[in-house]
Amino acid sequence: MPPVGAEHPADSSGNLQGDDQSGAKSGALSALDESHDPDLMDLAELARRRIELAQAERVAVARINTLAHHLPHMPLPPPPKAIKQPLPDAQFLWQRALQQRPDLAAAAARVRAEQVAVQIARKEYMPDFDVGGRYDQIWDRVNQRGQLAVNMNVPLYQKRRDAAVQEACFRLNQRRAEYDQAVDEIRNDVQAAYE
């Protein structure tokens, strides 16, 4: 059995609507579905696209004005009649971009840090000497108060040191690959903007 009100839905005034009104509405909707004209759909799509492009143009004008330190709603000035300076060579632009990019400088610093880590790992093969001295007043005799200490660490077990050097070398290679990738991306960006 259908739920109450399913056959005769109530409108906002509380009156029940009959089946004849709902049938007329569904018939009108099916007539609209059948009368889709492709030309009308194309015109509606063109109108929607025109609105999107106008909005994108307003956003672009506002961004350019912001970069030029003008009010965002102001119209753009006309373009110059001729460009006074020719565009520099692409290789010059690459070199300039490679010198001025902070992300590339950070990648180069990471490479240098890993190179130092490799050097430190290799120095672990060498014996380590520590020399220290102190004067302690706990002892009763004066000749026992001064102390001198020498400590020497002789690396006998090499496998741990070998692994540390290999790990540092792998990290260095990874940082170099990241640096090379950043250089390639910068060159690609400059070339794409140059074209």
The reply to whether 62 and 118 lie within a common domain is: no
Q: Is residue 6 part of a domain?
A: no
Please give the Cα distance from 60 to 122 (Å, whole number). 56
Q: Is residue 95 part of a domain?
A: yes
Average pLDDT over residues 108-124: 94
Would you put residue 8 in left (φ > 0), alpha (ψ -120 to 50) or beta? beta
pTM: 0.50
What is residue 93's predicted lDDT score, i.e. its pLDDT?
A: 87
The answer on pLDDT for 181 being more than 90 is: yes
Please give the Cα distance from 61 to 49 (Å, whole number). 18
Domain that holds residue 60: 34-79
Number of independent structural domains in the chain: 2
The reply to whether 98 and 126 lie within a common domain is: yes
Q: Is residue 164 part of a domain?
A: yes
